[in-house]
Amino acid sequence: MTVAAAQLLVQTLAIYVGVGAAFAAVFVWRWVGRLDSAAEHGTWGFRVLVCPGVAALWPLFVVRLIRR
């Protein structure tokens, strides 16, 4: 792997993580109730726990929100 390819990979991963973190923050604050009515009444501790998973899997959550 060349240095340029490694830099592109790291930059792409950084963008993915940044978008995921921003989406997760908004998702657990505003949209979690749209996908799961039980999670709508979840505590902030629950929301903090699911935040890393939402950040990692944000494309799946975007698709589910669009389909609803």
The residue-averaged pLDDT of 9-14 equals: 98
Whether pLDDT at 53 is above 90: yes
What pTM does this model have? 0.86
Any idea which residue has 């792997």 for tokens? 1
pLDDT band at 33 (very low <50, low <70, confident <90, very high): confident
Cα gap 29→14, rounded to integer Å:
23
For residue 68, give the amino acid letter.
R
Q: From residue 2, how far is each of 7, 8, 13, 53, 62 by CA, in Å?
A: 9, 10, 17, 31, 33
The residue-averaged pLDDT of 3-21 equals: 97
